[in-house]
């Protein structure tokens, strides 16, 4: 399993809902967590490793030492509030960072690896990470969240680098 790098077309695909949480999915999620941590990432979505299913892994920022990870399966953002600007990067666009706007607080409903419904009410960095990773499941990369002028300049830079 390896991280797909822009402009890999799989990064622009919509993912399908996970219909069966089985040992294969559990094993894949654990491997994704190991990959994410090995490259000092804070989140990794299934399409970033070539899997077109709706789930992602990320650091649990509720834990101060950041040793815990979360797996969100079939996540849906159901409430959004406020606005915050954060400098984002992406493991699939290595070396490039830019400021984007996100919701400050959200509610996100998902399933965990046991198939239990979970509801998160993150704010701050956890909210940003959830939104960033959730976008990947819809084939959206973070430059899409920039103003058109910033996006055009940014895309020109990354297209020059990755082509």
Residues tagged active-site: 133
Distance (Å, whole) CA 159 – CA 163 = 6
In the Cβ-directed half-sphere of 65, how many Cα atoms lie within 13 Å?
A: 2
Helix or strand (DSSP H, E) at 78: strand 69-81
Residues 85-121 as b or e (16 or more Cβ within 10 Å = b) = ebebebbbbeebebebebbbbbebebbeeeeeeeebe
Q: How many degrees, rounded to 5, is the angle at CA 79 between CA 71 and CA 85? A: 80
């Amino acid at each position: 399993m390896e991280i797909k790098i822009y402009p890999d077309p799989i990064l622009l695909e919509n993912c399908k809902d996970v219909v069966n949480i089985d040992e294969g999915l559990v094993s894949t999620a654990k491997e994704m967590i190991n990959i994410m941590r090995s490259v000092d990432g804070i989140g990794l979505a299934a399409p970033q490793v070539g899997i077109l299913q709706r789930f992602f892994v990320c650091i649990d920022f509720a834990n101060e030492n950041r040793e815990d990870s979360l797996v969100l399966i079939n996540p849906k953002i159901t409430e959004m509030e406020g606005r915050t600007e954060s400098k984002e990067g992406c493991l699939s666009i290595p070396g490039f960072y830019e400021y984007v706007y996100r919701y400050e607080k959200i509610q996100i409903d998902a399933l965990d690896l046991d198939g239990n419904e979970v509801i998160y009410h993150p704010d701050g960095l956890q909210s940003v990470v959830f939104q960033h990773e959730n976008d990947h499941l819809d084939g959206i990369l973070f430059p899409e969240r920039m103003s058109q002028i910033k996006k055009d300049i940014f895309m020109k830079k990354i297209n020059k680098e990755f082509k």
